[in-house]
Amino acid sequence: MIRKLFHRVFRRGGPLPLGTPGKPGLIPLARHGIHRDSVSPGARRTCEALQKAGYTAYVVGGAVRDLIAGIVPKDYDIATNATPEQVRNLFRRSRIIGRRFQIVHVMQGSETLEVSTFRAAHDADTIKDEHGRVLRDNVFGSMAEDAARRDFTVNALYYDPTTQIVHDYHHGVADLQQKTLRMIGDPAVRYREDPVRMLRAVRLSAKLGLTLDPAVRAPIREMADLMENVPVARVFDEMLKLLFSGHAVECVKRLRDDGLHHGLLPLLDVILEQPLGEKFVLLALTSTDARVKAGKSLSSGYLFATLLWHEVLANWEIRKARRELPTPALYEAMDEVLDQQGEKLAITRRIAGDIKEIWALQPRFEKRAGKSPHRLLEQPRFRAAYDFLALRAESGEIDQELATWWHDFQMADLAGREAMLLPDSGPKKRRRRRVKKPADGLVHAGDALSATESTVSDED
């Protein structure tokens, strides 16, 4: 029995060295697998410059977590014992930002590194609102305090590019390997300090394939109302991260399972309860996940246009039933839906403009005669609007024939496009030239004949 225990402890890949209270476990390169060359040059240069100036500096948080999990980080954060002013004085291309907690943006070539000073633990002097949310937090502390302040154990990891050692205060590397997402401290208290952590728990568990620790998951449903107290701009930013994580479908499912969809996308329940709406949204999210994994560009406007489209459709149908003109009714429906959503999500004017352009172009795809198709191709948002049309067809909302026609039309040359145009079924207006009356007010025979010939010529 004892021999098996020793074998389990000391074999390669066994339990990782754990830190004692206030001291981190030191995880070597052979155990965590992060070689300095896999860290961005800008992050390495920033850490090296701070260390040469006599400060400690580490790549911290999500970048370390992702590198251990085999995921390429989108950005890098640096933690240091240098104050924001000291960091600012050390790097020419840098600026101090933030109110609640000041950080420094350091520009290294095309990279922007976020450098933060170690934060102190909360105490009786920490300013909070009536719900327990921290409002101001500009107190500096030690590295151990900074680690204890982070939300999840997998985010409390500090990597030194010089020594290639990971400093692990809360067994985050072990939790990553055991596929468990655990909170540092009491989850209920931590959610009150920052309710957005509930969204992060869903996003990280879906992204990394982790199971929420029971203590992390249990309070979420009953504390979901705390999201009402979060500024809409922060909710919107976190929702973008969630929807563009590459695991949006899984995230949405987990949002519903944990009761977090209420108040985030208030219309999500309505959308997903409609057979066509649910299929449409899931197809859109699946497409977004595929684009993320393929490294393709993403559009916030396009994604939110898909999430809210069926609510616009329902609103539009109500207005048309009241005998409102179709085009004005569509614009009224669009404005109403975006106004309702704006109460919960800080959709910027630019994104709202993109959304409305995509929606407004949809009826124009029905016109396949005359010059209308050519003019539609020239629209700046044509490609996004066409992709939206194709999604509508795939979900069964419209006939696939329409999307196929537009695919072939845009691929054809000019002669081919002309041949594809449908006959104009609208009423033709009879054009006649006006006959100028002579000064005596009489129409002479020659003038009458000329008028007749011009009429025939126009009709031919």
Q: Per-residue pLDDT tens for 382-425? A: 999 999 999 999 999 999 999 999 999 999 999 999 999 998 76
pLDDT of 353 reads 93
Residue 175 annotated in active site: no
| 86-129 residue pLDDT tens | 999 999 999 999 876 789 999 999 999 999 999 987 555 555 55
Residue 412: CATH number of its domain: 1.10.3090.10
pLDDT at 355 over 90: yes
Evaluate whether residue 346 is within a structural domain: yes
Whether residues 443 and 312 share a domain: the answer is no
In this structure, what DSSP letter does residue 65 have? H
What would the mean pLDDT of 329-348 be, rounded to a whole number?
Answer: 85
CB atoms within 10 A of CB 164: 16
Query: What residues contact 134, with CB distance under 8 A and at least 6 apart?
Result: 100, 122, 126, 127, 128, 193, 194
Evaluate whether residue 386 is within a structural domain: yes
Q: How many domains does the chain have?
A: 3
Domain end (from 159, 183, 207): 183
Whether residues 371 and 443 share a domain: the answer is no
Residue 77 annotated in active site: yes
Q: Which of 75, 339, 408, 424 is catalytic?
A: 75
CB-based contact 405:432 (threshold 8 Å): no
Whether residues 386 and 441 share a domain: the answer is no
State the Cα–Cα distance between residues 342 and 335, nearest whole angstrom. 10
Evaluate whether residue 411 is within a structural domain: yes
Least confident interval from 2-6, 292-296, 358-362: 2-6
Whether residues 351 and 439 share a domain: the answer is no
Q: Which of 137, 151, 289, 354 is catalytic?
A: 151
- Amino acid type, 458: D
Question: Which tokens in the block code for residue 282?
Answer: 């899931």
Whether residues 45 and 79 share a domain: the answer is yes
Evaluate whether residue 229 is within a structural domain: no
CB-based contact 156:168 (threshold 8 Å): yes
Whether residues 38 and 142 share a domain: the answer is yes
Question: Which tokens in the block code for residue 230?
Answer: 């979060």
Domain that holds residue 453: 431-460
Whether residues 121 and 60 share a domain: the answer is yes
Question: 77-80 and 165-168 as β-strands: parallel, antiparallel, unpaired?
Answer: unpaired
Residue 153: CATH number of its domain: 3.30.460.10
Whether residues 22 and 167 share a domain: the answer is yes
Residue 125 annotated in active site: no
Q: Which of 77, 168, 289, 354 is catalytic?
A: 77
pLDDT of 341 reads 78
